[in-house]
Amino acid sequence: MYLDDSVRKNLLDRLRASAGERGRRVLITGATVVTMDPALGVLPRGDVLIEGEVIAAVGEDLRAQGAESDAVVIDATGCVVAPGLVDTHRHAWETQLRRVMPDVDDLGGYVTRTLLGYAPVYRPHDMYVGTRLAALTALDSGITTMLDFSHNSRTPAHSDAAVQALVDSGIRGVHAAMAPHFGDWDRQWPADVARLQKEYGNGLLTFRLATLATGEIAGPELEYGPKLAAAARELGVGVSVDAVFGLPSSRAVLEWERQGLLGPDLTLIHATGLTPGAWRAIGDSGTTIALAPTSDAQIGLESAIPAVDEALAVGVRPGLSIDVEVALASDMFTQMRTLHAIQRMRAVNAAYGTDTEPRRISTFDVLDFATLQGARTNGLGEVTGSLTPGKQADVLVVRAEDINNMPLNDAVGTLVLGTDARNVDTVFVAGQVRKWDGRLLDVDLAALRDDVSASRDFVLDAGKAS
């Protein structure tokens, strides 16, 4: 927002002072509003009214309808207002190991160094530090919902630390719990998820089971099948399945179909190199897909091609995810741009030299994947993912007249192709402001830096010694 410093401070003071008030009203006005709601579309100049935790109204001129009465009014002229971005899969506990292996060439290299080498030495404190850093980074770059695929749940204390980090960050968190691949653990998973639900469940935090597609990497105990599906049903949670690759996973998908284990509450992550039969089963059942565009392409997972065409061909609109920051970028803008470029390259290349018209996805498609479809993939489609009245007020205000975005010609194109974290001016989660004037609130960066560095040093030293 392009406001005087004194105006900004006054607005923030009013937002903070009224944060606990039931039904507190905030009117964001004068922006280009990208709702991601098919019924509302894009408003070239519009307003968004927040009441308490929810979006109360979206329209072209809500002031004329009296919306500014008793509201904190934020003039967002020159900005784009959009729903918060949604990350469908990130291994948040690893974040203090960012870019420790930037040129990893295959899944085996990642597994050996990170899951076999470093994961077993993690203390609960390290789980907390890594997860909190991931969540704060997500908020800083406009991600308001993050699924933490927490596959280092060695003890209840490790799980408590990961969950508490999500709570303390203020993000809309999805804790997807899984036992570790290697090393000693307390054998408390998956039953311990019931305790976590009871102790930590609230409006911002939900839970899922996290599993693997097959037992190739870590054995049958972590492999999705009837036992874990039954556990998820008893807990009333969905399931996120990682490492869905190639022929072994394709055979597993067909077996899950036979057993009646596919469906909308199941998310398959990556889904690269699957057979046409597996894709048919996924599409027929409404099973959801979480793509990891940079992970597939950069690390070279199975075919190394994000499976967006395969998903769309069977009627599945996927969500997007970050995956592992030990080797990859942290933000959703990179994921959208990477997928947009790779798919369009594939489409044109496949049609080159023929009369066939390339079937290319659009910037709107990848923004849809990063918002509405991501929310649906996380089991939160009725909660977030679009600026729809009645949904939670997870809202971004993006500066569209910054040096890298001006002038604003196409709002969706600006969000996907132009924007990065520096342009994310304001972030609301459930109506509460988490980033303001381009800065995260309530975060002592110096203390965070010390915690992250100390945890990193401990993990690297202990990992070498083990």
Closest to 379 measured CA to CA, from 135, 176, 120, 136: 176
CB contact set of 322 (below 8 Å; sequence gap of 6+): 87, 89, 90, 292, 294, 328, 329, 330, 331, 332, 335
Domain for residue 172, yes or no? yes
Task: Answer for the pair 92, 148: CB distance below 8 angstroms, yes or no.
Answer: yes
Please determine, for residue 4, whether its predicted confidence score (pLDDT) is greater than 90. no
Judge if 115 and 244 occupy the same domain.
yes
Please determine, for residue 201, whether its predicted confidence score (pLDDT) is greater than 90. no
Judge if 162 and 19 occupy the same domain.
no
What per-residue confidence (pLDDT) applies to 20? 79
Strand partners, 174: 147, 206
What per-residue confidence (pLDDT) applies to 218? 72
Domain for residue 238, yes or no? yes
Domain for residue 466, yes or no? no
Cα atoms found within 13 Å of the Cα of residue 61, Cβ hemisphere only: 1
What per-residue confidence (pLDDT) applies to 56? 97
What per-residue confidence (pLDDT) applies to 83? 98
Closest to 320 measured CA to CA, from 151, 110, 86, 144: 86
Judge if 135 and 251 occupy the same domain.
yes
Judge if 89 and 177 occupy the same domain.
yes
**What CATH number does residue 363 fall under?**
3.20.20.140
What per-residue confidence (pLDDT) applies to 54? 97
| Other beta carbons less than 10 A from residue 22's beta carbon | 7
Domain for residue 462, yes or no? no
Percent of the chain residues past pLDDT 90, beyond the cut = 91
Q: With cut-offs at 50, 70 and 90, classify the pLDDT of residue 202.
A: confident
Q: With cut-offs at 50, 70 and 90, classify the pLDDT of residue 142.
A: very high
Domain end among 333, 353, 377: 377
- pLDDT digits over 375-423, tens only? 999 999 999 999 999 999 999 999 999 999 999 999 999 999 999 999 9
Domain end among 351, 377, 403: 377
Please determine, for residue 19, whether its predicted confidence score (pLDDT) is greater than 90. no
Percent of the chain residues past pLDDT 70, beyond the cut = 100
Strands 79-83 and 395-399: antiparallel
Judge if 319 and 366 occupy the same domain.
yes
Instruction: Tell me which residue range forms the domain holding 24.
Output: 5-83+383-440
> What's the rounded mean pLDDT across residues 6-10?
90
How many structural domains does the chain have? 2
> What's the rounded mean pLDDT across residues 292-298?
97
